[in-house]
Amino acid sequence: MKKKVIIPSLLIIMVCIALAVSLIIQQQKNKEMLERFHPMRLHVLRLQSDMRLGLTEKITIGAIGDVLIHDVVYQDAFNGKQYNFDPIFENVKSLLEKPDILTANQESILGGIELGLSTYPMFNSPHEVADALVHSGVDIVSTANNHSLDKGEKGIDSEVAYLDKIGLPHVGSFTDDKDRQKLRIIDKNGIKVAFLSNTYGTNGIPIPSGKYFLVNLINRDLMKTEIQRAKKEADVVVMSIHWGVEYQRIPNNDQKDLANFLANEGVDVIFGSHPHVLEPIEWIKTNDGRKTLVVYSLGNFISRQFDDYKDIGGMATIDITKHISEKGDSLSLSNPVFYPTYVSSQNFKNYRVIPLENAGPYGLPTADAKYKEIQDHMFQWLR
């Protein structure tokens, strides 16, 4: 009786062993098949990772000069109900939209009508100027200049509130220290660009006690710290700097010395303002082997000033290329370009910014010759 029980049990055990052996053999075959194809899958993933190492990202950064709104300009923009500055820029809108990032020097404070509009020597302009800049392609404005305190702290607070409301980034004047500590960085095509802004002064108007954050003044120690902070967070550092001597077409030694300081501290691009006329473009070779582009002055982009080159401004651009490799990321700057513009008006009305080469029908009969003269002036140190 026991033998009859043992025999079926042995048969069951043998069947189980056979099944187990069969499963092991099948698993081995599956493994071999997976190993045959798995390296290809890994190779594809590795290629995708390595492809990034050979990539380059590229952007174009542009800048325009002084947006200085005199009374005749804002009066011209008033249609009886509201202020509309869009027509002033309509002839250069397509030009201003070319760069991936465009900055402007907003020189007259945008305190708005509630604070009372005013003109030279202490400006206050309508908020709507900022709307027109946005509509025309401006991505960020510099607000540190000699007119920043023309309406005191209230002017800065009103300007900042409106710029924040419409989503236009700004740098140079601030409402508090927390605002000042926040770096202004724009990320475009995988390239992070930090914007800084400083001015030589505020026309003798003192910064209120304890309110140092209101306007960034030129202070080499503080600027060095800001540049270092920016370099840690961004690929490119752009400095808008208010300096120089009004109506001088060549930078002075102080400007050149400060430009060299900024370049060697790590600034990649310097856009200058304040002289209200154009000053040349120059490459600065830094001690660590880099090169920095400096546009010493971008002149007036829109104002009521005229003659003696005060009605000629323009847009400067520079290409930034980011190279990604196994050794780390690196940057190169190339192809500086300048697009001259002309401020046209008739009897202090119908203000328009016009590409200089097209300014003949807008009151500048020597437009072609002036265009060549300006290009020679701006690039005299690059040739």
* b (16+ CB within 10 A) / e for 228-237: eebbeebbbb
**Cα Rg for the chain, rounded, in angstroms?**
31
Q: What is the CB-side half-sphere exposure of residue 175 using CA atoms within 13 A?
A: 12
Measured between alpha carbons, how far is 99 from 230 in angstroms, rounded to an integer? 22
Contacts of 101 by beta carbon, 8 Å cutoff, 6+ apart? 59, 60, 61, 62, 139, 140, 186, 188, 193
Is there a contact between 76 and 350 (Cβ–Cβ < 8 Å)? yes
**pTM, two decimal places:** 0.86
CA nearest to 330, candidates 57, 72, 19, 84: 57
Measured between alpha carbons, how far is 256 from 292 in angstroms, rounded to an integer? 12
Contacts of 32 by beta carbon, 8 Å cutoff, 6+ apart? none
Determine the length of the chain: 383
Is there a contact between 271 and 295 (Cβ–Cβ < 8 Å)? yes
DSSP category for residue 63: E
**Positions of E strands within 68-120:** 101-106
Is there a contact between 169 and 188 (Cβ–Cβ < 8 Å)? no
* pLDDT tens digits in sequence order for the chain, 383 residues long: 444 444 555 555 565 566 655 655 565 655 554 444 444 333 343 344 445 566 899 999 999 999 999 999 999 999 999 999 999 999 999 999 999 999 999 999 999 999 999 999 999 999 999 999 999 999 999 999 999 999 999 999 999 999 999 999 999 999 999 999 999 999 999 999 999 999 999 999 999 999 999 999 999 999 999 999 999 999 999 999 999 999 999 999 999 999 999 999 999 999 999 999 999 999 999 999 999 999 999 999 999 999 999 999 999 999 999 998 888 889 999 999 999 999 999 999 999 999 999 999 999 999 999 999 999 999 999 98
CA nearest to 190, candidates 246, 235, 232, 233: 235
Measured between alpha carbons, how far is 313 from 298 in angstroms, rounded to an integer? 6
Alpha-carbon distances of 372 from 41, 71, 154, 378, rounded to whole Å: 59, 32, 44, 10
Is there a contact between 82 and 335 (Cβ–Cβ < 8 Å)? no
